[in-house]
Structure 1
Amino acid sequence: MYDWIAICALDDIPRLGARRVARENGLDVAIFRNEADGLFALLDRCPHKGGPLSQGIVLGNSVACPLHNWSIGCDGHAAAPDEGCTPSFRVKLEEGLVYLDAEQLAEHATGQTRPIAGPVSRKTACTH
């Protein structure tokens, strides 16, 4: 069983867009909303060069990175031919409220950082 924490109302997330959730430790988490009000949550960091996924455009169950248009699926994996992964987070919608798993929010992928300069490895490890 998960310990869910309320983040916002569904209407606080724009369709085909995202809402960033700041964390005490680690990079922000981005919650994405698609055209059918489906939700998915990823670390706000593209596995390619660290771009802010929250600024990308949602297409179905993926988001296009705003820097180089990599498509990152709701599971965090880059679409072929690109390679790499960004951590995903459990998210649920209940009675119009969006929730994240509190334990994941506090502890999951807290060691990842944005690159200062240069490319990020295309073989970025992904832990879910």
Structure 2
Amino acid sequence: MTDWKRICLLDDIPRLGSRVVRRPGADDIAVFRNADDEVFALHDQCPHKGGPLSQGIVHGRKVTCPLHGWNFNLQDGQAVAPDVGACASFAVKVEGGEVWLAT
């Protein structure tokens, strides 16, 4: 059984942007919203050089790291070829205009 934590309203996340969820004693999570109002959650650190993915550019279902231009699939955190690597992804859902993150 998955426990869900309410993060914010969907409208609190800018389209093509993100919001950072701070977790005491754990790594931050970036929650992204694309142009189609789909929401995704990834570990907020690029595995390449540690850049904050929350500051990256969202396009389609991808985010581009602001430091070195690596692209990551927002659905599963996998780097887009030719880059290799991944960051953790987290379950997220939108219900009634509210964003919920699996804990």
Cα deviation, residue 35, structure 1: 0.1
The Cα offsets for residues 60-112 of structure 1, whole Å up to 9 and x where unpaired, read as 1110000011101111110000000000000000000000012xxxxxxxxxx
Q: CA RMSD in A?
A: 0.7
| CA distance, structure 1, for counterparts of residue 40 and residue 25 of structure 2 | 21
Q: What is the correspondence of 1:38-117 to structure 2 with a 5 Å cutoff?
A: 38-74=38-74, 75-102=76-103
Unaligned runs of 5+ in 2: none
Which residue of structure 2 lines up, in the alignment, with residue 23 of structure 1? 23
Share of identical aligned residues, percent?
Answer: 60
SS where residue 11 of structure 2 aligns? helix
CA distance in 2, matches of 1:49, 1:86: 12
Q: Distance in 1 between matches of 2:47 and 2:85?
A: 5
TM-score scaled by length of structure 1: 0.78
Q: In the aligned structure 1, how far is the partner of 2:2 from the partner of 2:28?
A: 20
**Regions of 4+ moved over 3 Å:** none
- Structure 2 match to 1:108: none
How many residue pairs are counted as aligned between the two chains? 102
The Cα shift of 1:24 comes to 1.2
